């Protein structure tokens, strides 16, 4: 229906999506959007069917065409403002944030011709229904579990390629690791006393700094009595200066 409609909806999605996704995570955010999409369209269809039963229209509303993401955006607005006690401005009208979606529904219907009133109303009701279902249900969301498993299946090739590349990189640049003691679970691994690099048992010289396997890395610092008297930071500085790392 025009670039302005697309830009307005996408900017609204960006503003609400940043707040929701950063607070609940990507998987839960995706499951919420999917649930709101289904509920908003379902409620809109029920409203259209109810109007046909209550009023004698020549053509049912659900035979009309509508486009856009506004229904889900209205539902997301309800979710964003559900716990807010602040005030917001809706086209110059200052009111509590909890009522912003209702005010925007009326103002848009008044000043923007051709918009889907039932679509927007269905989105608001979907947001309210989602909040009630979330508050009353304490278990894990099955839709979130499905989306998490689906994303793991889709990302399996990427993780496989990443694992192969990482394995080859370890083969090229060394077999050891630097860090905690958990890296030494494999047999035949010894840790360099100078740089804490884990080396293969087949090596007698550290693959990282060249220190002998049975050297404590402090031989150049003088006698053992002198090294015990030095602070930890001074020992570290001398090690860095010695190995040039």
pLDDT in the model for residue 69: 86
Q: Catalytic annotation on 26?
A: no
Given the residues 31, 40, 70, 116, the one annotated as active site: 70
Closest CA to 9 of 119, 132, 144: 119
CA distance 198 to 213: 11
- 134-182 pLDDT, tens digit per residue, is 888 766 667 777 777 777 787 778 777 877 777 666 555 544 444 444 4
pLDDT in the model for residue 88: 79
Alpha-helical (H) ranges within 115-154 are: 117-136, 142-154
Q: Catalytic annotation on 228?
A: no
- What pTM value is reported for the model? 0.56
Share of the chain above pLDDT 90, in %: 11
pLDDT in the model for residue 13: 92
- 170-208 pLDDT, tens digit per residue, is 555 544 444 444 444 444 677 877 777 777 777 777 766
Given the residues 120, 140, 181, 223, the one annotated as active site: 120
Asked if pLDDT for residue 25 goes beyond 60, the answer is yes
């Amino acid at each position: 229906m025009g670039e302005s409609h697309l830009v307005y909806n996408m900017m609204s999605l960006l503003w609400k999506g940043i707040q929701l996704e950063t607070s609940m995570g990507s998987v839960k955010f995706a499951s919420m959007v999917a649930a709101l999409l289904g509920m908003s369209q379902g409620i809109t269809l029920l409203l259209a069917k109810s109007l046909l039963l209550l009023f004698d229209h020549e053509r049912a509303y659900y035979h009309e065409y509508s486009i856009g993401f506004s229904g889900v955006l209205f539902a997301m607005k309800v979710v964003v403002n559900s716990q807010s006690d602040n005030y917001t401005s809706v086209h110059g009208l200052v009111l509590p944030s909890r009522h912003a979606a209702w005010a925007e529904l009326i103002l848009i219907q008044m000043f923007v011709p051709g918009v889907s009133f039932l679509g927007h109303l269905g989105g608001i009701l979907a947001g309210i229904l989602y909040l009630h279902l979330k508050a009353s249900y304490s278990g894990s969301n099955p839709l979130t579990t499905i989306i998490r498993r689906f994303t793991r299946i889709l990302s399996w090739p990427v993780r496989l390629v990443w694992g192969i590349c990482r394995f080859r990189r370890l083969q090229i640049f060394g077999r050891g690791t630097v860090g905690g003691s958990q890296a030494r679970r494999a047999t035949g691994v010894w840790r360099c006393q100078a740089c804490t690099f884990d080396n293969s048992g087949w090596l007698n010289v550290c693959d990282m700094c060249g220190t002998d396997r049975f050297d404590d890395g402090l031989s150049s610092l003088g006698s053992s009595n002198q090294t015990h008297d030095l602070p930890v930071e001074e020992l570290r500085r001398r090690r860095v200066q010695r190995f040039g790392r």
